[in-house]
Structure 1
Amino acid sequence: MPANHPTVAHGKVGVLLVNLGTPDGTDTTSMRRYLREFLTDRRVIEWSRLFWYPILFGIVLNTRPGKVGKAYETIWNKDLDESYLRTYTRNQSDALAAAFESHSEVVVDWAMRYGQPSIPDRLTALKNAGCDRILLFPLYPQYAASTTATVNDKAFETLMGMRWQPALRTVPPYHDDPAYIEALAQSITTHIEGLEWEPEVVLASFHGIPQSYFKKGDPYHCQCMKTMRLVRERLGWDEKKLMTTFQSRFGPEEWLQPYTDKTVEQLAKDGVKRIAVINPGFVSDCLETLEEIAVAAGEIFHENGGEHFSHIPCLNDSAAGMAVIEAVVRRELKGWV
């Protein structure tokens, strides 16, 4: 071995929490950069590039950055000048690191699939810190190719550029994990206990995917339905009391149904006066929960005759939310820690 051969750090175990992503700011340039990375991902938009790119670069990236930026502005964490998704993901990483304080060999970090900090940057940092084994945790309870798979893709793409790769484990979906089901059930009951009124209906609103993705074999819809079946069983409720809907559709395709916005509108028109909405598929509150549900869905409900609307926060970095993340990580690290 050459005398100047560098000392290689080793013996550590990394845990990388990864969420969807966030723009760096609400300005048009930051939004365009973020949306371009997101909407050029072949896992997200599966259309032919010949068809999609003229639409994306000719229309979408010239019209949506301003509109989406204004939406982000309404839910921006002004104190830290960042999105709440970034705030909560960092907090989750810090809390998990504290939970593993007695395991000096464990290094916890966080990244975003789109935007900063990136998966390649944080995987490289963990490797340089001596992590020869890394647990990759896509923060999605239900598996979808457009979420979980693209996180895994990016991680393995990063490894392709390494001569000396760390061993990599990926966290499987945990849509039916008892700790997760219990945390959701508790968050619903605790929130309702804090209201001065009783919801007639609680909607569980998941992010949608195109029907075509489901028909190609994506398990997402089935896992969402199982999650809510288990939560209903835990609460002793039926499907009329706790309904499952899907939000955030984009483009001309049919997406998973029933649609959240249409359901909220119809419930109000049918005479339902009091509803609450929870987002079980989101580990952290973000644009899709804080603006699309807490604000926009609430407005739809009130405009159509509804009287009381409440958004049930995501688990975020709460004690219950962290108990879920920690339980999954401890299980998946077995044999390594």
Structure 2
Amino acid sequence: MTTVVPIESAEAAASVRPGRIGVLLVNLGTPDTADASGVRVYLKEFLSDPRVIEDQGLKWKLVLNGIILRIRPSRKARDYQKIWNNARNESPLKTITRAQSDKLAASISDHDHVVVDWAMRYGNPSIRSGIEALTAQGCDRLLVVPLYPQYSAATSATVCDEVFRVLAGMRAQPTLRVTPPYYDDPDYIEALAVSINAHLSTLPFQPELIVASFHGMPQKYIDKGDPYQAQCVATTEALRRRMGLDASKLLLTFQSRFGFDEWLRPYTDKTMEQLAKDGVRRIAVVTPGFSADCLETLEEIAQENAEIFRHNGGEQFAAIPCLNDSEAGMDVIRQLVLRELQGWI
């Protein structure tokens, strides 16, 4: 007997054929423009996130809207202007993240059913636009890649929060995976060591020591259970072992403190000042908590902290670039993505 398949059933069967796989690289964010208006929009979104500022009560809202968003945007805009990619009219973080996405796509192009895109947690392109673009291309599986080597609720977790918010409004949700932090991944540690040594070999001086500066956070966040500090320590210890350096030759510090709370110590800027006063004349700084150069590395470290060091007696200062879209850096991202796509490709 011949079985007749209803037209509706045939159409339904066609609609559930396996689709494509989307890979979404996500970094922190950037203003759209290097002026006070653009920075104000960015800071408002960033500082209104309860993962970043946990107490979003009335007092904070008054401080944010009445003081911070009136004063800080102009000052930070001047900092952005120092590092702005004028050719593209965008921040270096956006330029580099796009390049990372393009190079990842090229490196896994043999998997023709995998589509790579990129987004920012704050600012543009947004996570929502990234997910919508990938699903529009037929992606029914999604790998989100937070580009933070160390996990923190204020970085990796808030990426997931936003992804979940987007998915919550979707009738046909893609199946979701999220890459884990890679703070002690051997490929990552090796890439850092190779990058540091390569850059040191180009310097006209030999640093007396290296400072590994990570983005800071309020101490109370760690006290509540955030694993970030422990993972920064693990990265630094693994890097020391790989490079054959002890704690006196590869220091761990934390930068970018904000507000009046106690933040993770030792502070990078205070360390720069004290090292110079103690007679250290030549140093190099690496930033292993950042996957791409941004305001915090290009302006805060390479300019502001360099000036602090020199002002207090230091003579030679080198800021070592992040892994960015270098061959070593892209190999870390590619290996991470391919590992987490196992079973899908």
Do they fold alike, i.e. is TM over 0.5? Answer: yes
* Aligned match of 2:4: none
Tell me the distance in 1 between the aligned counterparts of 2:154 and 2:260: 18
Residue number in structure 2 paired with 1:89: 97
* Structure 2 residue 221 is matched with structure 1 residue 221: no
After TM superposition, the structure 1 = structure 2 runs for residues 314-329 of structure 1, keeping only pairs within 5 Å, are 314-329=322-337
SS at match of 2:32: coil
- Pairing partner for 1:105 from 107, 113, 128: 113
Question: 1:140 aligns to what?
Answer: 148
Aligned counterpart for 1:295 among listed residues 303, 307, 310: 303
**Unaligned segments of structure 1, at least 5 residues:** none
Question: Structure 1 counterpart of 2:236, which letter?
Answer: M
Unaligned runs of 5+ in 2: 1-7
Mapped contact 2:50–2:56 kept (Cα < 8 A):
no
Aligned residue for 1:175, secondary structure, equals: coil
| CA drift at 1:48 | 3.8
Work out which of the residue numbers 36, 45, 48 in structure 1 matches 2:44: 36
By how many angstroms is 1:328 displaced?
A: 0.4
**Equivalent position SS for 2:247:** coil
Equivalent residue for 2:181? 173
- For the 8 Å contact 2:199–2:320, the answer to whether it is kept is yes
Aligned-residue RMSD, C-alpha: 1.5
Q: Does 1:313 align with 2:321?
A: yes
1:66 partnered with 2:74: yes
Aligned-pair distance for 1:95? 0.1
From 109, 116, 124, give the equivalent of 1:116.
Answer: 124
In structure 2, C-alpha distance between the alignment counterparts of 1:188 and 1:18, rounded to whole Å: 24
Q: Out of 247, 259, 262, which is 1:251 matched to?
A: 259
* Aligned structure 1 segments of 4 or more residues deviating by more than 6 angstroms: 2-9
In structure 1, what residue type is equivalent to 2:298? L
- Within the candidate set 280, 284, 287, 1:272 is matched to 280
Could you tell me which amino acid in structure 2 is paired with residue 71 of structure 1?
Answer: D
Q: Distance in 1 between matches of 2:133 and 2:308?
A: 45
**Worse-matched range after superposition: 136-145 or 6-15:** 6-15
Task: Report the secondary structure of 1:291's partner residue.
Answer: helix
Number of matched residues? 337
What residue identity is the alignment partner of 2:66? G
Change (3 A) 1:228 1:307: same
CA deviation profile, 1:251-272 (whole Å, cap 9, x unmatched): 0000000000000000000000
Q: How far, CA to CA, are the matches of 2:181 and 2:37 in structure 1?
A: 34
Q: Conserved in 2, the CA contact under 8 Å of 1:8 and 1:130?
A: no
Please state if 1:77 is matched with 2:85: yes
Percent of matched pairs sharing the same residue: 59
Structure 1 residue corresponding to 2:200, chosen from 192, 204, 222: 192
Q: What TM-score, normalized by structure 2, do the two folds share?
A: 0.95
- 1:95 partner SS: helix
Which of 8, 12, 21 is matched with 2:29 structurally?
Answer: 21
**1:9 CA displacement:** 8.3
**What is the TM-score normalised by the length of structure 1?**
0.98
Contact 2:48–2:56 at 8 Å: present in 1 too?
Answer: no
Partner residue in 2 for 1:46: 54
**Which AA in structure 2 matches 1:178?**
P
Q: 1:131 aligns with which of 118, 139, 150?
A: 139
Letter in structure 2 aligned against 1:213: Y
Q: Which amino acid aligns with 2:310?
A: H
Q: Which residue of 1 aligns with 2:291?
A: 283
Measured after TM superposition, the shift of residue 7 of structure 1 is 6.3
For 2:224 and 2:113, locate their aligned partners in 1 and report how far apart those are by CA, in whole Å: 41
